[in-house]
Chains A and B, each alone.
Chain A
Amino acid sequence: MLFKDKDKQDRLAAAVGKAVQTPAAEIAGRSPWADARVRFLRNKAAVFSLGLLAFITLCCVAGPWLLPHAFDAADWDAMSLPPTLKNAHFFGTDESGRDLLVRSLVGGRVSLLVGFLATLSAVTLGIVWGATAGFLGGKVDAFMMRIVDMMYAVPYLLIAILMVTILGRAFYLVVITITVFSWMDMARVVRGQTLSLRSREFIEAARALGVPTRRIIFQHIVPNLLGIVVIYTTVTVPTVILVESVLSFLGLGIQEPMTSWGVLIHDGASVMEVSSWMLLFPAGLLSLTLYCFNYIGDGLRDALDPKER
């Protein structure tokens, strides 16, 4: 590695790229992001997971419209049916004749939506919290991080249970409850990164040149945080989906007639002696999704981790 800070390296690379491009466009300038993309694409497991996840998401979004059944419609001719081609019940049906494939896909919509929304809010909260603590430093930082430590020591599922008991189980309340216990990792990471960035030469140089603070933050700090934020966002999504599923599995999350993977696994577990497919299909879908997110996270970490450069 030639230069200590990516920014300088980046600008230099861009300059070299431009200089070289004019005579013969043989060596193009590569941004760190382009580098990362190449490294990510080289990781077969991660690319495969990304494709699979895109496929699952697409099925969840579009599938229920394309299939001939509604997720809450009972088919009285086909109750507790194992997976079959009859009436297009490819995943079978539950004890009231509702099509399991459509239910799994609709449940996937809810699980993925909760995962997406809760991650979005948790990541936003974490970034703001961590960046504020890291940037301000001193007593404020110590106090804010103490709160993060405290949140870690608390058995979050219990408080989540208490919150849904008291506040209720509406969709947005489930999202809020999950958010409250999912932002700390991001806050910690962002704070650490901000702290180390704050004292770097290129920030000092920008300050000495009289660049306004706002511009320093958006031009120099935020782009350097982006990599680690992307990594931790991908890691947060599966944990968030997991918490939603646990709550729903315990009967304290998403409520009937709406459904989610956790609800379906719960329903499946209660009838698995006679209809094991009711458990195995939603459980398989959830596990597959978690698997994908884990491998994408690993791939992104390898591709973007600043320590690797």
Chain B
Amino acid sequence: MVGGGGPSPDVSSPRGGPGDPRVPRPGGDPRSRILGGRDRSARNVWIAVASTVIFFGVAAIVIVRSPGWPELKASFFDPAEFRYSLPKILSKFVRNVAIFCIAEVFVLLLALLLAVMRSLVGPVFTPLRILSAAYTDVFRGMPTILVIFLLGYGMPSLNLQGIPDSEFFWAIVALVLVYSAYVAEVYRAGIQAVHPSQVAAARSLGLSRWQSMRHVVLPQAVRSVIPPLLNDFIGLQKDSALVAFLGIIEAFQQATIIQQSDFNFTPFVALALVYIVITIPQARAVDRLIARDQRRRQAAAM
């Protein structure tokens, strides 16, 4: 929008002179126009590249020249150990994948139930709200490993008919119980973030409280909390390693076995790479989801 009009100009001094603040200067980087000074974008790029190279170069030099480096390299970055351990770790990683995929499905469902319970309005629903709040407090309060231990060793020792013995089963149950507590809070934040005008519009159309929740609030709530949901899912993927405490040999345990057998830490580096490689695509996929959701939400936030 071009500046112009407004209060009557001072006709005594000519407009457009070099120091005239009334005339906007065209072109150039808007940031530098605000911050002052000439356009420096190309130069800035070179400075950025140079300082990055120097910084990481210096860090690399410091590390490689330290006296313990050869030992560290042999212990953590041994190529032969890497080649040996990677396939074994990957074959066991399949178990982690099974565990966290199955668990995540139930987590998303149970957490949704808990969040909706907590959001119910009206005095008749008080016991449900209390139950949901108590559940969240208990399972966020306990360390995950503790729940896994208690369920994985405790339940089978009850020796009751019909209680499964399988470590897989109890590990997944424990993870589901714990993570649902965290994810329920994420959902709740999402639900509360849906603007009340959306609910007003839905109710005004005659939709019941439940219909409004199901068709209008929850879809928006869930979409808006996808980043923290992914965060918790990634945490779950890491915590799937805890099932090792029940004896299941999953990827981390496999890495530990090789490590303790060979006295070498390279298997852990291999495992770390595996985890990073699977995490990055998830993050990018979610970024795309978020971008799409943001555009739509701006339309509603008027």
| A and B associate in one complex | no
